[in-house]
Amino acid sequence: MGTGARLIETIGERRLIVAIGVVFLVAAAIRGYVRIASGTAPTSALFVSVFISIPALILLYGGYRLREMDIHPDFHSTVATWTTGGVLAMVGFLAVYNVVVEGGISNPDRAFTILPAFSALAGFALGLRDAQIKTSKREIDTTVEQLRMSNERLEQFAYAASHDLQEPLRMVSSYLQLLERRADDELTDETREFLAYAVDGADRMRAMVDGLLVYSRIDTEGKPFETVALEDVVERAVDDLGVLIEECDAEITVGDLPQVEGDEMQLHRLVQNLLQNALEYTDDDPRVRVTAERNGDTWILSVQDNGIGIDPANQDDIFEVFKRLHTREEYPGTGIGLALCQRIAERHGGEIWVDSEPGKGSTFSVSLPVERASQPSPKRRGGPSVSSRR
Ligand code: ADP
C-alpha cells in the first residue's frame, strides 16, 4: 500500500475531503485577514477570499454527503485519491514553475491557494465520475454473477429432478406392462383400455424426463468446440431419419453448407430436431430445404418446409420447454425439441428464430459462429448438392 493510500485509510476518505475543504476555507480567511491588515482594499481582498471559499465549501459539502451518493463505499477512496491528487499535482506544478521559470516564489499565497483549491475541486469531480463508473461496473458484475449462479442452481435442480425421476418412472412403466401381459385373460376391455392409457402416460412422462435431462446437460456436458462440417452433420441427420423420410415420401434438398465452430453432437441433435419437425408438421408431400448464408461473423443455417406453418402469435412461445401448439392426437411430440435447439444455439453464441405463415410453411434459422480459420465462402459452390427423394 502506498503512502497516499495509507494516509487516506488512516484519516478516512470522507474526512480527508472535508479536511481539504476546511484547509482552503481557513487559507481563504487568513489570506483575507492578512491582506486587509497590510492595507489592501477590503473589497479586493474579500473578493479573492470568497473566490477561494467557493471550491472549499463545495468540497466540504461533497465530502460530507459522499455516503449518500450512488457510489459504493469501496470507491470513496477513489474520490479522495483524485481530490488529493488534484491538490498535489497543482502545488507541485506551481512550485516547479515558480522556482524554475520565475526564479522564486514571488506570491506564495496566490500560488498555493486559488489554483490548488480549484484543482482540488476538479480532482473531486473527476473522482466522483470515476467512482460512479466503477460502482456501475461492480453492480453489473454482481448481477451477472447472481444470474450465473441462479442459472447454475436451476440447471442442477432440473438435472437432479429429471435424473431422480427416471428410476421410479421406469418401475411404473415396467410393472404396468407386466400387469398388461400377465393379467391379460382376466382384464375386461375397459380395464385393458385404462391400462393402455396408464402405460402411454408413463411412456410420455419418461420421454419428457429424458428430454429435460438432456436439456439440463447442454452446458455442463457439452464438448469443447471444434471445426464442424455442417454438410456431414446434415447428412448424418438425414440418414438417422431415413425411416420417417421414407414413410412420408419426403424430399430433402441440401444446399452448400460451410464449416462452423461448434459441438458436433449438439449440432447434429439441433439439425435432426429441425428436420424431424419439418417432416412431422407437414401433412402432404414434405419438401424440406437446408441452406446456409454468411452474415458477417456468423453463418445462418436455415431449414425450410412447406408444412402447416405457425401462427405469428405463437412464434416465440414454441421455443419454451414443453410448449406445444397441438394435441398429441393431432401431432405426437413432447414439446422439448425446439427448447433444446435454442439452448444449443445459445451455447454456440447464436440464436434461433422462425419465419412462418400458417398454411404456407416455416423456415427455422440458426446463427452459428464461422469456423476459426474463417472460410470466406462455403466449401463447395454451385447448385443444391444433395437432392434425395427416398
Ligand atoms: P414437439 O415437436 O415435440 O411438440 P418442439 O419443441 O419441437 O416439440 O416444437 C414445439 C411446437 O412448435 C410443436 O408442438 C409445433 O406446434 C410447433 N412446430 C415446431 N416445428 C414446426 C414446424 N416445422 N412447422 C409447424 N409447427 C412447428
In a domain, 45, yes or no: yes
In a domain, 60, yes or no: yes
User: What pLDDT score does 381 carry?
Assistant: 37
In this prediction, residues 24-37 reach a mean pLDDT of 90
| 135 and 37 within one domain | yes
Express each pLDDT in 248-278 by its tens digit: 999 999 999 999 999 999 999 999 999 999 9
Among 136-140, 221-225, 240-244, the minimum mean pLDDT is found in 221-225
Select from 132, 147, 162 the last residue of a domain.
147
Select from 147, 169, 188 the last residue of a domain.
147
Pocket test for ligand 1, best of 318, 321, 360 (most atoms within 8 A of CB): 318
- DSSP 8-state assignment for residue 378: -
Q: Distance, CA 339 to ligand 1 centroid (Å)?
A: 10
Say yes or no: CB of residue 318 within 6 Å of ligand 1.
yes
Q: Has residue 80 got a pLDDT over 60?
A: yes
**CA-wise closest residue to 120 among 228, 215, 28:** 28
Global pTM reads 0.67
Q: Match 413432447 to its residue by C-alpha cell.
A: 334
In this prediction, residues 33-49 reach a mean pLDDT of 86
In a domain, 63, yes or no: yes
Express each pLDDT in 196-209 by its tens digit: 899 889 888 888 98
Length of the chain: 390
In a domain, 375, yes or no: yes
End-to-end Cα spacing for the chain:
75
| 22 and 99 within one domain | yes
- In angstroms, the Cα distances linking 132 to 21, 57, 71, 79, 127 are 21, 22, 6, 10, 8
Select from 216, 238, 255 the last residue of a domain.
216
| 384 and 294 within one domain | yes
| 156 and 260 within one domain | no
Nearest residue CA, atom 4 of ligand 1?
Answer: 335
Task: Pinpoint the alpha helices (H) of the chain.
Answer: 3-11, 13-37, 42-65, 76-96, 108-111, 114-182, 189-216, 230-240, 242-247, 264-280, 337-347
Query: What is the count of structural domains for the chain?
Result: 3
User: What pLDDT score does 110 carry?
Assistant: 67
| 14 and 63 within one domain | yes
| 374 and 355 within one domain | yes
Instruction: Give the ligand 1 atom nearest the CA of 305.
Output: 23
In a domain, 377, yes or no: yes
In a domain, 138, yes or no: yes
| 375 and 353 within one domain | yes
Nearest residue CA, atom 23 of ligand 1?
Answer: 278
| 369 and 256 within one domain | yes
| 80 and 133 within one domain | yes
| 204 and 143 within one domain | no
Q: Which comes out higher in pLDDT, residue 378 or 52? A: 52
User: What pLDDT score does 376 carry?
Assistant: 52
In a domain, 221, yes or no: no
| 232 and 161 within one domain | no
Q: Tell me how crowded residue 50 is: count the other CB atoms within 10 A of its CB.
A: 12
| 327 and 309 within one domain | yes
* Residue 131, domain extent: 3-147
Say yes or no: CB of residue 341 within 6 Å of ligand 1.
no
Query: Which CATH number goes with the domain that contains 349?
Result: 3.30.565.10
